[in-house]
Structure 1
Amino acid sequence: MAASEEEAPIRIRKYANRRLYNTATSSYVTLADLAQLVRDGVEFTVEDAKSGEDLTRATLTQIIVDEEQSGANLLPVSLLRQIISMYRDNAGWMLPAYLEQSMEWFTANHDAMRREVERAYGAGTAFGSLDDLGKRNLALFEQAMRLWNPFAAAAPEPKETASDAGGELQAMRSEIARMQERLDALAGKGGD
Protein backbone atom coordinates (compact mmCIF):
# COMPACT_ATOMS: atom_id res chain seq x y z
CA MET A 1 0.00 0.00 0.00
CA ALA A 2 1.33 3.46 -0.88
CA ALA A 3 2.09 5.97 1.86
CA SER A 4 -0.57 8.38 0.64
CA GLU A 5 -3.20 5.61 0.82
CA GLU A 6 -2.17 4.78 4.39
CA GLU A 7 -2.66 8.40 5.42
CA ALA A 8 -6.07 8.79 3.81
CA PRO A 9 -8.74 9.48 6.41
CA ILE A 10 -11.16 6.73 7.31
CA ARG A 11 -14.59 7.20 5.75
CA ILE A 12 -17.52 7.06 8.12
CA ARG A 13 -20.94 6.92 6.49
CA LYS A 14 -23.99 8.28 8.29
CA TYR A 15 -27.29 6.71 7.37
CA ALA A 16 -30.80 8.19 7.56
CA ASN A 17 -31.42 6.19 10.75
CA ARG A 18 -28.45 8.13 12.26
CA ARG A 19 -26.25 5.04 12.43
CA LEU A 20 -22.57 5.52 11.66
CA TYR A 21 -20.68 2.97 9.58
CA ASN A 22 -16.88 2.72 9.55
CA THR A 23 -15.93 1.67 6.02
CA ALA A 24 -12.40 0.70 7.13
CA THR A 25 -13.58 -1.89 9.65
CA SER A 26 -16.93 -2.66 8.00
CA SER A 27 -18.73 -2.12 11.29
CA TYR A 28 -21.16 0.27 12.89
CA VAL A 29 -19.66 2.75 15.35
CA THR A 30 -20.93 5.21 17.93
CA LEU A 31 -20.00 8.81 18.65
CA ALA A 32 -17.97 7.49 21.59
CA ASP A 33 -16.01 5.29 19.17
CA LEU A 34 -15.34 8.32 16.96
CA ALA A 35 -14.24 10.32 20.02
CA GLN A 36 -11.72 7.58 20.77
CA LEU A 37 -10.45 7.72 17.19
CA VAL A 38 -9.87 11.46 17.65
CA ARG A 39 -7.99 10.84 20.92
CA ASP A 40 -5.90 8.19 19.15
CA GLY A 41 -5.02 10.67 16.40
CA VAL A 42 -6.88 8.79 13.67
CA GLU A 43 -8.17 11.03 10.88
CA PHE A 44 -11.67 10.38 9.58
CA THR A 45 -14.40 12.06 7.59
CA VAL A 46 -18.13 11.60 8.02
CA GLU A 47 -20.37 11.73 4.99
CA ASP A 48 -24.09 11.35 4.41
CA ALA A 49 -24.60 7.88 2.95
CA LYS A 50 -27.22 9.07 0.46
CA SER A 51 -26.06 12.53 -0.66
CA GLY A 52 -22.32 12.29 0.07
CA GLU A 53 -22.49 15.61 1.97
CA ASP A 54 -19.57 16.15 4.36
CA LEU A 55 -20.90 15.88 7.93
CA THR A 56 -17.52 15.81 9.68
CA ARG A 57 -17.83 19.22 11.35
CA ALA A 58 -21.38 18.54 12.59
CA THR A 59 -20.36 15.12 13.91
CA LEU A 60 -17.31 16.47 15.75
CA THR A 61 -19.50 19.22 17.22
CA GLN A 62 -21.95 16.56 18.43
CA ILE A 63 -19.07 14.72 20.12
CA ILE A 64 -18.17 17.96 21.93
CA VAL A 65 -21.80 18.44 22.99
CA ASP A 66 -21.90 14.89 24.35
CA GLU A 67 -18.63 15.39 26.26
CA GLU A 68 -19.87 18.68 27.73
CA GLN A 69 -23.17 17.07 28.79
CA SER A 70 -21.26 14.26 30.50
CA GLY A 71 -19.68 16.82 32.83
CA ALA A 72 -16.31 17.44 31.16
CA ASN A 73 -17.06 21.20 30.86
CA LEU A 74 -13.90 22.26 29.04
CA LEU A 75 -15.65 25.15 27.31
CA PRO A 76 -16.58 28.10 29.54
CA VAL A 77 -20.04 29.55 28.94
CA SER A 78 -18.49 32.93 28.13
CA LEU A 79 -16.43 31.33 25.34
CA LEU A 80 -19.49 29.57 23.94
CA ARG A 81 -21.38 32.87 23.91
CA GLN A 82 -18.47 34.57 22.14
CA ILE A 83 -18.33 31.86 19.50
CA ILE A 84 -22.08 32.07 18.89
CA SER A 85 -21.87 35.85 18.53
CA MET A 86 -19.10 35.43 15.93
CA TYR A 87 -21.45 33.63 13.52
CA ARG A 88 -23.09 36.96 12.63
CA ASP A 89 -20.08 39.21 13.23
CA ASN A 90 -17.97 40.68 10.43
CA ALA A 91 -14.81 39.62 12.26
CA GLY A 92 -15.96 35.99 12.52
CA TRP A 93 -13.66 34.99 9.69
CA MET A 94 -10.69 35.36 12.08
CA LEU A 95 -12.02 32.99 14.72
CA PRO A 96 -11.24 29.63 13.06
CA ALA A 97 -7.60 30.54 12.41
CA TYR A 98 -7.21 32.03 15.90
CA LEU A 99 -8.69 28.97 17.62
CA GLU A 100 -6.67 26.59 15.49
CA GLN A 101 -3.40 28.42 16.21
CA SER A 102 -4.20 28.68 19.92
CA MET A 103 -4.91 24.95 20.18
CA GLU A 104 -1.77 24.08 18.21
CA TRP A 105 0.30 26.26 20.54
CA PHE A 106 -1.41 24.83 23.62
CA THR A 107 -0.94 21.24 22.46
CA ALA A 108 2.71 21.81 21.58
CA ASN A 109 3.51 23.55 24.85
CA HIS A 110 1.16 22.16 27.46
CA ASP A 111 3.49 19.44 28.78
CA ALA A 112 6.35 21.92 29.13
CA MET A 113 4.04 24.49 30.77
CA ARG A 114 2.76 21.93 33.26
CA ARG A 115 6.32 20.93 34.23
CA GLU A 116 7.36 24.57 34.67
CA VAL A 117 4.30 25.44 36.73
CA GLU A 118 4.79 22.38 38.93
CA ARG A 119 8.47 23.22 39.34
CA ALA A 120 7.75 26.84 40.22
CA TYR A 121 4.63 26.48 42.34
CA GLY A 122 4.37 22.84 43.32
CA ALA A 123 2.22 20.08 41.89
CA GLY A 124 -0.98 21.23 43.59
CA THR A 125 -1.27 24.51 41.71
CA ALA A 126 -0.51 23.38 38.15
CA PHE A 127 -4.12 23.07 37.07
CA GLY A 128 -5.08 26.39 38.63
CA SER A 129 -2.25 28.16 36.83
CA LEU A 130 -3.19 26.57 33.51
CA ASP A 131 -6.77 27.66 34.14
CA ASP A 132 -5.52 31.20 34.77
CA LEU A 133 -3.55 31.03 31.51
CA GLY A 134 -6.70 30.00 29.67
CA LYS A 135 -8.66 32.87 31.22
CA ARG A 136 -5.95 35.35 30.20
CA ASN A 137 -5.94 33.93 26.68
CA LEU A 138 -9.73 34.30 26.49
CA ALA A 139 -9.50 37.88 27.78
CA LEU A 140 -6.90 38.72 25.11
CA PHE A 141 -9.14 37.19 22.46
CA GLU A 142 -12.12 39.23 23.66
CA GLN A 143 -9.99 42.38 23.62
CA ALA A 144 -8.87 41.64 20.05
CA MET A 145 -12.46 41.07 18.97
CA ARG A 146 -13.50 44.43 20.47
CA LEU A 147 -10.90 46.12 18.27
CA TRP A 148 -12.73 44.77 15.22
CA ASN A 149 -16.19 45.42 16.65
CA PRO A 150 -15.99 48.35 19.11
CA PHE A 151 -19.77 48.36 19.59
CA ALA A 152 -19.87 44.83 20.96
CA ALA A 153 -20.71 44.72 24.63
CA ALA A 154 -17.86 43.74 26.87
CA ALA A 155 -18.29 40.31 28.39
CA PRO A 156 -19.02 40.39 32.11
CA GLU A 157 -16.12 39.64 34.39
CA PRO A 158 -16.09 35.94 35.23
CA LYS A 159 -17.21 35.19 38.75
CA GLU A 160 -14.72 33.55 41.03
CA THR A 161 -15.57 29.91 41.55
CA ALA A 162 -15.11 27.97 44.73
CA SER A 163 -12.16 26.10 43.20
CA ASP A 164 -10.53 29.42 42.24
CA ALA A 165 -10.99 30.74 45.77
CA GLY A 166 -9.71 27.48 47.26
CA GLY A 167 -6.60 27.62 45.10
CA GLU A 168 -5.95 31.24 46.02
CA LEU A 169 -6.51 30.46 49.69
CA GLN A 170 -4.04 27.57 49.52
CA ALA A 171 -1.50 29.81 47.77
CA MET A 172 -1.91 32.45 50.49
CA ARG A 173 -1.48 29.86 53.23
CA SER A 174 1.69 28.60 51.58
CA GLU A 175 3.03 32.14 51.27
CA ILE A 176 2.24 32.87 54.94
CA ALA A 177 4.00 29.65 55.97
CA ARG A 178 7.10 30.64 53.95
CA MET A 179 7.07 34.12 55.50
CA GLN A 180 6.72 32.61 58.98
CA GLU A 181 9.71 30.35 58.31
CA ARG A 182 11.75 33.38 57.24
CA LEU A 183 10.71 35.31 60.35
CA ASP A 184 11.61 32.35 62.54
CA ALA A 185 14.98 32.08 60.80
CA LEU A 186 15.62 35.80 61.26
CA ALA A 187 14.56 35.64 64.90
CA GLY A 188 16.94 32.71 65.42
CA LYS A 189 19.84 34.68 63.90
CA GLY A 190 19.09 37.76 65.99
CA GLY A 191 19.07 35.78 69.24
CA ASP A 192 22.59 34.36 68.73
Structure 2
Amino acid sequence: MNNQTEITRYPNRRLYDRNQKKYVTLRDVEEMILAGQTVRVRDSKLDEDITKIVLIQILVERHPERLDLFPPAFLQEVLRADQMTLDWLSLYFRNLKLVMKGFTGSVDANSIPGFGLWQSIMPSALNLTNPTNSAAETNDANSPAADSPNTASQDVNRQLAAKVLELERRLAQLEGDAD
Protein backbone atom coordinates (compact mmCIF):
# COMPACT_ATOMS: atom_id res chain seq x y z
CA MET A 1 0.00 0.00 0.00
CA ASN A 2 1.34 3.42 -0.96
CA ASN A 3 1.18 5.75 2.04
CA GLN A 4 2.12 8.86 0.02
CA THR A 5 -0.68 11.28 -0.69
CA GLU A 6 -0.18 13.72 -3.57
CA ILE A 7 -1.82 17.10 -3.05
CA THR A 8 -1.87 20.07 -5.43
CA ARG A 9 -2.29 23.62 -4.16
CA TYR A 10 -3.92 25.99 -6.63
CA PRO A 11 -3.48 29.79 -6.83
CA ASN A 12 -6.75 30.25 -4.92
CA ARG A 13 -5.01 28.32 -2.07
CA ARG A 14 -7.35 25.35 -2.38
CA LEU A 15 -5.80 21.95 -1.81
CA TYR A 16 -6.70 19.05 -4.10
CA ASP A 17 -5.99 15.45 -3.07
CA ARG A 18 -5.04 13.75 -6.34
CA ASN A 19 -5.36 10.28 -4.81
CA GLN A 20 -8.95 10.74 -3.59
CA LYS A 21 -9.83 13.19 -6.39
CA LYS A 22 -11.38 15.77 -4.08
CA TYR A 23 -10.61 19.09 -2.41
CA VAL A 24 -9.29 18.91 1.14
CA THR A 25 -8.66 21.34 3.98
CA LEU A 26 -5.59 21.89 6.13
CA ARG A 27 -7.36 19.89 8.83
CA ASP A 28 -7.75 16.99 6.38
CA VAL A 29 -4.04 17.16 5.56
CA GLU A 30 -3.22 17.13 9.27
CA GLU A 31 -5.45 14.09 9.80
CA MET A 32 -3.72 12.27 6.93
CA ILE A 33 -0.35 12.91 8.55
CA LEU A 34 -1.58 11.83 11.98
CA ALA A 35 -2.88 8.63 10.35
CA GLY A 36 0.67 7.87 9.22
CA GLN A 37 0.45 8.95 5.59
CA THR A 38 3.26 10.82 3.92
CA VAL A 39 1.89 13.95 2.30
CA ARG A 40 3.55 15.75 -0.59
CA VAL A 41 2.17 19.12 -1.70
CA ARG A 42 3.03 20.70 -5.05
CA ASP A 43 2.24 24.19 -6.30
CA SER A 44 0.08 23.95 -9.44
CA LYS A 45 1.64 26.95 -11.22
CA LEU A 46 5.32 26.53 -10.41
CA ASP A 47 5.28 22.74 -9.98
CA GLU A 48 7.46 23.17 -6.88
CA ASP A 49 7.33 21.04 -3.75
CA ILE A 50 5.75 23.24 -1.07
CA THR A 51 5.19 20.50 1.51
CA LYS A 52 7.28 22.27 4.16
CA ILE A 53 5.36 25.50 3.69
CA VAL A 54 2.02 23.73 4.17
CA LEU A 55 3.31 21.82 7.22
CA ILE A 56 4.54 25.06 8.78
CA GLN A 57 1.17 26.64 8.02
CA ILE A 58 -0.55 23.76 9.86
CA LEU A 59 1.75 24.27 12.84
CA VAL A 60 1.22 28.05 12.91
CA GLU A 61 -2.55 27.92 12.46
CA ARG A 62 -3.50 24.74 14.30
CA HIS A 63 -0.70 24.08 16.82
CA PRO A 64 1.01 27.35 17.74
CA GLU A 65 1.94 25.89 21.14
CA ARG A 66 4.29 23.45 19.37
CA LEU A 67 6.31 26.36 18.05
CA ASP A 68 7.46 26.89 21.66
CA LEU A 69 9.90 24.09 20.85
CA PHE A 70 11.93 26.77 19.03
CA PRO A 71 12.93 29.64 21.33
CA PRO A 72 12.78 33.11 19.74
CA ALA A 73 16.56 33.46 20.08
CA PHE A 74 17.06 30.32 17.98
CA LEU A 75 14.63 31.51 15.28
CA GLN A 76 16.35 34.90 15.16
CA GLU A 77 19.73 33.22 14.76
CA VAL A 78 18.39 31.08 11.91
CA LEU A 79 17.22 34.25 10.17
CA ARG A 80 20.63 35.89 10.69
CA ALA A 81 22.61 32.80 9.73
CA ASP A 82 25.21 32.92 7.01
CA GLN A 83 26.15 29.91 4.89
CA MET A 84 28.86 28.77 7.33
CA THR A 85 26.33 28.65 10.17
CA LEU A 86 23.85 26.75 8.01
CA ASP A 87 26.63 24.32 7.05
CA TRP A 88 27.40 23.78 10.74
CA LEU A 89 23.72 23.22 11.52
CA SER A 90 23.51 20.77 8.64
CA LEU A 91 26.53 18.91 10.00
CA TYR A 92 24.98 18.89 13.48
CA PHE A 93 21.75 17.34 12.20
CA ARG A 94 23.69 14.82 10.09
CA ASN A 95 25.61 13.73 13.20
CA LEU A 96 22.41 13.60 15.23
CA LYS A 97 20.90 11.33 12.58
CA LEU A 98 23.96 9.03 12.73
CA VAL A 99 23.74 8.86 16.51
CA MET A 100 20.01 8.17 16.42
CA LYS A 101 20.53 5.54 13.72
CA GLY A 102 23.18 3.85 15.89
CA PHE A 103 20.97 4.13 18.95
CA THR A 104 18.04 2.50 17.20
CA GLY A 105 20.09 -0.16 15.41
CA SER A 106 18.63 -2.94 17.53
CA VAL A 107 15.32 -1.21 18.24
CA ASP A 108 12.39 -0.62 15.91
CA ALA A 109 12.63 3.10 15.08
CA ASN A 110 8.83 3.33 14.90
CA SER A 111 8.65 2.48 18.61
CA ILE A 112 10.47 5.71 19.52
CA PRO A 113 8.06 8.67 19.45
CA GLY A 114 9.23 11.34 17.03
CA PHE A 115 12.10 9.35 15.52
CA GLY A 116 10.29 8.95 12.21
CA LEU A 117 10.16 12.74 12.02
CA TRP A 118 13.94 13.00 12.33
CA GLN A 119 14.44 10.30 9.72
CA SER A 120 12.17 12.10 7.28
CA ILE A 121 13.52 15.64 7.70
CA MET A 122 17.24 15.04 7.93
CA PRO A 123 17.92 14.37 4.24
CA SER A 124 15.89 17.38 3.13
CA ALA A 125 17.49 19.60 5.74
CA LEU A 126 20.91 18.60 4.50
CA ASN A 127 20.07 19.27 0.87
CA LEU A 128 18.39 22.61 1.55
CA THR A 129 21.03 24.11 3.78
CA ASN A 130 23.98 23.07 1.65
CA PRO A 131 22.90 22.48 -1.94
CA THR A 132 26.48 22.64 -3.25
CA ASN A 133 27.53 19.41 -1.53
CA SER A 134 28.64 16.65 -3.84
CA ALA A 135 27.03 13.24 -3.67
CA ALA A 136 30.02 11.98 -1.72
CA GLU A 137 29.50 14.61 0.97
CA THR A 138 25.76 14.10 1.35
CA ASN A 139 25.68 10.33 1.50
CA ASP A 140 22.33 8.93 0.56
CA ALA A 141 20.82 7.06 3.50
CA ASN A 142 20.64 3.91 1.36
CA SER A 143 24.23 4.03 0.10
CA PRO A 144 26.83 1.67 1.55
CA ALA A 145 28.93 4.62 2.70
CA ALA A 146 26.05 5.97 4.79
CA ASP A 147 25.77 2.63 6.56
CA SER A 148 29.42 2.64 7.57
CA PRO A 149 30.00 4.62 10.77
CA ASN A 150 33.74 4.79 10.00
CA THR A 151 33.21 6.32 6.56
CA ALA A 152 30.64 8.76 7.89
CA SER A 153 32.91 9.61 10.80
CA GLN A 154 35.84 10.23 8.45
CA ASP A 155 33.69 12.50 6.27
CA VAL A 156 32.54 14.41 9.33
CA ASN A 157 36.12 14.77 10.56
CA ARG A 158 37.25 16.11 7.16
CA GLN A 159 34.39 18.57 7.09
CA LEU A 160 35.10 19.73 10.63
CA ALA A 161 38.80 20.16 9.85
CA ALA A 162 37.91 22.27 6.80
CA LYS A 163 35.56 24.39 8.90
CA VAL A 164 38.24 24.92 11.58
CA LEU A 165 40.76 25.99 8.93
CA GLU A 166 38.23 28.42 7.46
CA LEU A 167 37.49 29.86 10.91
CA GLU A 168 41.20 30.23 11.66
CA ARG A 169 41.70 32.01 8.33
CA ARG A 170 38.81 34.38 9.04
CA LEU A 171 40.05 35.03 12.58
CA ALA A 172 43.55 35.84 11.32
CA GLN A 173 42.04 38.18 8.75
CA LEU A 174 39.95 39.94 11.42
CA GLU A 175 42.94 40.24 13.74
CA GLY A 176 44.95 41.75 10.87
CA ASP A 177 42.18 44.29 10.23
CA ALA A 178 42.10 45.27 13.92
CA ASP A 179 45.78 46.37 13.90
Structure 1 length normalisation: TM-score? 0.44
Larger Rg: 1
